[in-house]
Amino acid sequence: MSNLFLDLLEKRDYLVADGAMGTSLFKRGLQTGDAPELWNVDHQDRVESVHQEYVDAGSDIILTNSFGCNEHRLKLHNAQDRTYELNKAAAERARKVADAADRPVVVAGSMGPTGEILEPVGALSMADAAKAFAEQARGLKDGGADVLWIETMSSREESQAAVEGASTVGLPIVTTMTFDTAGKTMMGVSPQDAYTHLSGLEVKPAAIGANCGLGATESVISLCDMTDIVPEGAWIVAKANCGIPQYKDGKFEFTGTPELMADYARMARDAGARIIGGCCGSDGAVVKAIADALKDYTPGGKPSQDEIIAKLGALTNMPAGGAHGHGGGGDEEGGRKRRRRRG
Binding residues for Zn(2+): 212, 279-280
Parallel, antiparallel, or unpaired: how do β-strands 245-248 and 251-254 relate? Answer: antiparallel
Contacts 24+ apart (CB under 8 A), 118-124: 118/155, 118/157, 118/158, 118/161, 119/157, 124/72
3-state secondary structure of 167: helix
Q: Residue 157's CB: how many other CB atoms inside 10 A?
A: 21
Q: Which residues are annotated as a binding site?
A: 212, 279-280
Q: Are 163 and 124 in contact (CB under 8 A)?
A: no
Q: Are 298 and 70 in contact (CB under 8 A)?
A: no
d(Cα 315, Cα 308) in Å, to the nearest integer?
10
Q: Are 198 and 205 in contact (CB under 8 A)?
A: yes
Distances (CA, A) of 339 to 2, 186, 277, 322, 332: 36, 12, 22, 25, 10
**DSSP-assigned states of every residue in 20-71:** -HHHHHHHTT--TT--GGGHHHH-HHHHHHHHHHHHHHT-SEEE-S-TT-SH
Q: Residue 299's CB: how many other CB atoms inside 10 A?
A: 17
